[in-house]
């Protein structure tokens, strides 16, 4: 265990956790919604510090990041617990059952071992992922500080439900984030995820101001968030509030967890969503969970030339030179491997 950061003691040995936007008030002996932060005697503890339930070497495209060190490897870690209750969760076995554990499962993998493993496997980054990294913030934060000293980038794959205090504490150590923007409907967030929309929108805007490289992912679920109207609203929000240079990953839904009754997303809907994003003015819009689709590739937003060809999570060819399109010379947004000046 490790004493948590970002909490406040209250009367009667209760505490208020200020890590995520639930801002749980936790009585003595209780846990937050995430299931991994526990009040013991008026002190809030993280139960998952250094307890990696998943640790793998992944292509960075798997996160997905397509404009931050494309074609490189990322050492990826996650612990038990999550602050959302998504009915379509793909990792529900490790994200949704934390409250049932007296002692948290996972391999003992302290920050120094994460750094060592990343270096041994030639990983240019560490991704905090698999479950919601905000709930294991202390672990991720200490690892991030050490990673910076080793010139290893820090990446969050997140639902965006962290507080402003958490992001400002992380300032200078978080390099990039792929944020799930699941819908632009608060009803969707309440009914399907057990959360609210506005904190996610606020996190996206604040990350942008802080200079964190952002990519956005939307899982398109039949009958829930696949209307032309909503897809257009999401694209417009990204363009107007986060920036036209922000990559938008539109992922195909496959029946899972508590939503096995729904069909998989029609490929044509994914293609239509990609068309909407491009027509709205987003420079880079990607089709996800459709291996071999042309929507996996990166194209120049100025001349339309093919720049990065992918199949699944594998980069087959990268034609970007000095962060520029070799055909028309326009700057391609993001941080491209081999050019440390590409992302400032």
Q: Does residue 56 contact residue 45 with C-beta atoms inside 8 Å?
A: no
What burial letters (b/e) apply to 186-211, b meaning 16+ CB within 10 Å? Answer: eebbeebbebebebbbbbbebbeeee
Please report the pLDDT score of residue 335 as a whole number.
96
327 within some domain: no
Domain containing residue 23: 2-46
211 within some domain: yes
Task: Report pTM.
Answer: 0.96
Please report the pLDDT score of residue 339 as a whole number.
44
In angstroms, the CA 47 to CA 38 distance is 7
Please report the pLDDT score of residue 306 as a whole number.
98
Please report the pLDDT score of residue 1 as a whole number.
86
Note whether 76 and 139 are same-domain residues. Answer: yes
265 within some domain: yes
Residues 287, 173, 288, CA angle at the centre, nearest 5°?
5
Note whether 18 and 131 are same-domain residues. Answer: no
Note whether 34 and 113 are same-domain residues. Answer: no
What order of strands is seen across the sheet that includes strand 7-9?
A: 7-9, 15-17, 25-26
Please report the pLDDT score of residue 338 as a whole number.
46
Note whether 288 and 192 are same-domain residues. Answer: yes
Q: How many independent structural domains does the chain possess?
A: 2
Q: Does residue 318 contact residue 301 with C-beta atoms inside 8 Å?
A: no
In angstroms, the CA 85 to CA 190 distance is 10
Q: Does residue 226 contact residue 270 with C-beta atoms inside 8 Å?
A: no
Note whether 166 and 36 are same-domain residues. Answer: no
Spell out, as residue ranges, where the chain has pLDDT lower than 70. Answer: 337-344
Note whether 40 and 117 are same-domain residues. Answer: no
Residue 108 neighbours by CB distance under 10 Å? 8
Please report the pLDDT score of residue 337 as a whole number.
66
Distance of CA 271 to the CA centre of its chain: 23
330 within some domain: no
Q: And the tokens for 330?
A: 């326009």
């Amino acid at each position: 265990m490790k004493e948590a950061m970002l909490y406040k003691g209250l009367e009667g040995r209760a505490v208020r956790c200020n890590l995520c936007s639930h801002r749980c008030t936790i009585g003595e002996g209780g846990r937050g919604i995430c299931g991994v932060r526990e009040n013991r005697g008026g002190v809030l503890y993280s139960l998952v510090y250094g307890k990696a339930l998943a640790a793998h070497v992944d292509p960075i495209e798997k996160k997905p990041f397509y404009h931050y060190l494309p074609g490189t490897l990322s050492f990826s870690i996650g612990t038990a617990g999550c602050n959302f209750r998504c009915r379509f969760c793909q990792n529900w076995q490790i994200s949704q059952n934390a409250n049932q554990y007296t002692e948290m499962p996972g391999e003992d993998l302290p920050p120094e071992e994460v750094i060592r493993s990343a270096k041994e496997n030639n990983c240019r980054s560490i991704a905090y992922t698999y479950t919601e990294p905000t709930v294991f913030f202390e672990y991720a934060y200490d690892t991030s500080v050490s990673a910076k000293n080793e010139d290893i980038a820090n990446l969050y794959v997140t639902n965006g439900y962290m507080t402003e205090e958490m992001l400002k504490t992380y300032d200078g150590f978080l390099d990039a984030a792929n944020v799930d923007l699941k819908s632009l409907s608060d009803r969707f967030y309440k009914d399907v995820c057990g959360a609210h929309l506005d904190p996610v929108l606020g996190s996206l805007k604040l990350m942008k101001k802080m200079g964190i490289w952002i990519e956005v992912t939307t899982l398109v679920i039949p009958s829930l968030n696949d209307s032309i109207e909503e897809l257009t609203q999401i694209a417009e929000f990204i363009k107007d509030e986060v920036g036209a240079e922000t990559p938008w990953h539109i992922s195909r839904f496959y029946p899972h967890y508590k939503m096995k009754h729904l069909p998989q997303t029609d490929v044509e809907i994914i293609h239509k969503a990609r068309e909407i994003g491009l027509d709205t003015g987003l420079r880079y819009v990607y089709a996800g969970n459709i291996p071999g689709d042309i929507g996996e590739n990166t194209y120049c937003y100025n001349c339309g030339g093919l720049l990065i060809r992918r199949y699944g999570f594998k980069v087959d060819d990268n034609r970007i030179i000095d962060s520029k399109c070799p055909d028309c010379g326009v700057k391609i947004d993001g941080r491209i491997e081999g050019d440390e000046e590409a992302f400032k």
